[in-house]
Amino acid sequence: MQARIVMLVDLDYFYAQCEERRNPALKSKPVVVCVYSGRTEDSGAVSTANYVARKYGVKSGIPISLAKKKLKDIDAVFLPVDKEFYKEISDRIMELLRSYADRFEQVGIDEAYLDVTQRTKENYHEAEELAATIKHDVLTQQKLTCSIGVGPNKLVAKIASDIQKPDGLTLVRPEEVKSFLSPLPVRRLVGVGKKTEKKLETLGVRTVGQLAMFDVQRLIEVFGRKLGTYFHNASLGIDDEPVQERSEPESVSRISTLKEDTRDLAVILDEAYKLCDDVHSKLLQRRLIYRSVSIYIVAGDLSVHSRSKTFENPTSDLETFKKTVKELFEKFLGESDVEARRVGVKVSNLNKKEELQKQITNFFGFSKH
């Protein structure tokens, strides 16, 4: 594979920074953006917090009540998430970022990969200047700071972006990859979660460098061929995943909180069907058809469960959607004994309606007259 230069741009404390942009007086205070579940006044989880609040140990995922404890007697601001507002800002920034890339891939509301190989002529000095320009333009035009990692592939760029936050710019040249990665804990690698981290620790592997030295055959024995090989390559900073342009959203989903935890299928479906209606109208709006349907269940202990089904042929039919959602919830309740606290539905494997029409037309040799 040809040498590449890839950037990962990640917006700093994104939701909280959007709130600061809307109301600059917040900047000096701890700002905590919350997903309120609506049960009691403080039930729910922290979505994110600004860096002032992080100093007190407040971070994504912790209960709101715990965040309040940590910020007791401090002039902190708690706000509900306003996803539509953040999405608007995100859309504008993504459009700006896209203009700096040979190839562009958005991977979340606040981050994107940019392949800049051609426009930097494979030169890291030019890439550094480009990254500085991007940071400057995002700040002056959209009033937000971001952190950028630059490296020979997505894996290295992603880790680099994370290493000096907020407002960071980290370059890792190909010859620096090994020394950059080797002291890091294995947890920094995409795909290494708590479980894998524990397993690796029992093998005496804590750092990426130790993982790189570990016998690949044994890794394969422990994790299977696919994952074992991936961990081995990742530890060496090897990653051939291209920066992939995506023109359509990956998925459309809706989730909502039930009035109380339940295993009652009728109650769950009552809520889930409303979510299906919402998703369906969004699909119609954007002229999208789907091939996969998933359901999500967030249990009382906040563990997340899901079930999916993929069809042979894409559809946009609402009845099929609801029927599949029903099947999946029935299946889930039969297989698990958790109580649902929140339920969600999602469609993915999306296509434009027109594209399918085109394919059919081409296939049968019809023309539209």
Residue 279 near residue 328 (C-beta atoms within 8 A): no
Under rule CB under 6 A, residue 47 binds ligand DCP: yes
Q: What is the DSSP letter of 153?
A: S
The torsion angles phi and psi of 357, rounded to 5 degrees, stand at -60, -45
Residue 11 vs 184, nearer CB to ligand DCP: 11
Answer with the entry of ligand DCP, Ca ion, none that 20 interacts with (C-beta below 5 to 8 A by kind): none
Under rule CB under 6 A, residue 334 binds ligand DCP: no
Torsion of CA 44, 342, 293, 34, to 10 degrees: -10
Q: Other C-beta atoms within 10 Å of 247: how many?
A: 5
Residue 47 vs 253, nearer CB to Ca ion: 47
**Type of residue found at 240:** D
Residue 355: half-sphere exposure toward Cβ, Cα within 13 Å: 12
Residues catalogued as catalytic:
111
Q: Are strands 146-151 and 169-171 parallel, antiparallel or unpaired?
A: parallel
Tell me how far apart the alpha carbons of residues 66 and 72 are, in angstroms, rounded to a whole number.
Answer: 10
Least gap, CB of 233 to ligand DCP (angstroms): 24
Least gap, CB of 277 to ligand DCP (angstroms): 24
Choice from 7, 15, 228, 231 touching ligand DCP (CB under 6 A): 15
By CB under 6 A, what part of segment 94-153 binds ligand DCP? 110
Residues that bind ligand DCP (rule: CB under 6 A) add up to a total of 13
> Among 326, 247, 251, which residue's Cα sits nearest to residue 292?
251
Q: Other C-beta atoms within 10 Å of 365: how many?
A: 6
Answer with the entry of Ca ion, ligand DCP, none that 31 interacts with (C-beta below 5 to 8 A by kind): none
* Structure tokens belonging to residue 102: 């040979």
Q: Other C-beta atoms within 10 Å of 151: how many?
A: 29
Answer with the entry of ligand DCP, Ca ion, none that 281 interacts with (C-beta below 5 to 8 A by kind): none
Q: Which segment (6-14, 82-90, 195-203, 300-308) binds Ca ion by CB under 5 A?
A: 6-14
Under rule CB under 5 A, residue 111 binds Ca ion: yes
Under rule CB under 6 A, residue 12 binds ligand DCP: yes
The torsion angles phi and psi of 68, rounded to 5 degrees, stand at -65, -40
Least gap, CB of 344 to ligand DCP (angstroms): 14
Torsion of CA 136, 138, 139, 140, to 10 degrees: 80
Residue 109 vs 318, nearer CB to ligand DCP: 109
* Structure tokens belonging to residue 277: 């209606």
By CB under 6 A, what part of segment 157-176 binds ligand DCP? 165-166
Residue 208 near residue 188 (C-beta atoms within 8 A): yes
Under rule CB under 6 A, residue 263 binds ligand DCP: no
Least gap, CB of 365 to ligand DCP (angstroms): 47
Under rule CB under 5 A, residue 20 binds Ca ion: no
Q: Is 281 left (phi over 0), alpha (psi -120 to 50) or beta?
A: alpha
Q: Which segment (5-13, 123-131, 132-140, 329-337) binds ligand DCP by CB under 6 A?
A: 5-13
> Among 2, 6, 3, 46, which residue's Cα sits nearest to residue 243?
6
Residue 165 vs 309, nearer CB to ligand DCP: 165
Under rule CB under 5 A, residue 19 binds Ca ion: no
Under rule CB under 5 A, residue 110 binds Ca ion: yes
Under rule CB under 6 A, residue 60 binds ligand DCP: yes
Q: Which residues bind Ca ion (CB under 5 A)?
A: 10-11, 14, 110-111
Q: Which residues bind ligand DCP (CB under 6 A)?
A: 10-15, 47-48, 60-61, 110, 165-166
